[in-house]
Amino acid sequence: MSSGAARHDADRIGPTAHYTGYVWQRLHLPYSHHLATTQGALLYWGFFALGEWTTRVLPGVPSMRGYLAYRHLLIDALLEDLAPDRLIELGAGLTPRTLQWAIDRDVACVDVDLPDMIDTKRRALERLPDSLRRRAMARLTLQPADVLAPDFAATLRALVAGAKRPAIVAEGLVSYFDADARAALMRVVADALADGGDFVVDLHTADAQAQLGRATKVLRGAIKALTRRRHALDPLRDRTALHGALADAGFVGSRILDARDWVRRVPALGRLSSPAHVVHAWRSNGAAPR
């Protein structure tokens, strides 16, 4: 991707990172208050005033906040079980997850995003209290990169190298891509995990979107309004196509997570819903869901 195209994507995707960063603060996720921005607050409340509030009163329609919370909390629950020794977030934005894992778990973490967003997060980390900043920066690497660039495959392989249990997370990222870009990124991730590891991603299917009907239309419209992208939430056909796409990319197995499996540990998941599937895929033939 050219520098001009990358700048165009930064201008369109950047607002969602600020928006979700403020949502994480509203959800009181650990360390999220260090990353939330004024821009995120303005987007959150502006979007609410423009009509997002209607999702709070329409039956069966998850709010944007609820949709994001479902995805994030379910990914967190899976990662607890996977216990990676290296956690890499693609399109990391202002997620507090890697900050938490670096500080509280002493796990090597990498945030990958476009240069402008990496600069924004670096400035936020520089404002941390001294003790937190030292612990965070000892274990958290900020890697500017375009995940669709031809040279990203080599970059990701280098970031994974040496890890025994790497986990790569793409939360809310591939929903912005068309089918070809989505498939290309999944191949890059599978290649990087050739020696074993886990990939966690949210994917959409047409049949799941149809079940939620109006909710999907509301959420798709909301994301397109924020990003001005045509491909927001463009789905795979069904679960068979979803698993097939991951197999074609090189993964040896995949599963769609059921939030009910974690609801005793994370009670909030019992009150949330989403048209998105949170998916766990793995590369090693010896791997099994943990």
Q: Does a structural domain hold residue 289? A: no
Does residue 193 lie within any of the structural domains? yes
Q: Domain limits at 200?
A: 3-282
> Which is it for strands 253-256 and 86-90: parallel, antiparallel or unpaired?
unpaired
Looking at residue 121, which CATH number applies to its domain? 3.40.50.150
Residue 290, domain member (yes or no)? no
234 part of a folded domain: yes
Which residues, given as ranges, of the chain have pLDDT below 50? 1-12, 286
In a domain, 149, yes or no: yes
Asked if residue 262 is part of any domain, the answer here is yes
- pLDDT score recorded for residue 67: 86
**Does residue 288 lie within any of the structural domains?**
no
Q: Per-residue pLDDT tens for 19-42?
A: 999 999 999 999 999 999 999 999
Burial of 72-89, coded b for 16+ CB within 10 Å and e otherwise, reads bbbbbbbbeebebebbbb
How many structural domains does the chain have? 1
Q: Which residue has the tokens 């397109």?
A: 224
What is the pLDDT at residue 15?
A: 83
CA 130 – CA 144 distance, rounded (Å): 24
What pLDDT score does 1 carry? 46
7 within some domain: yes
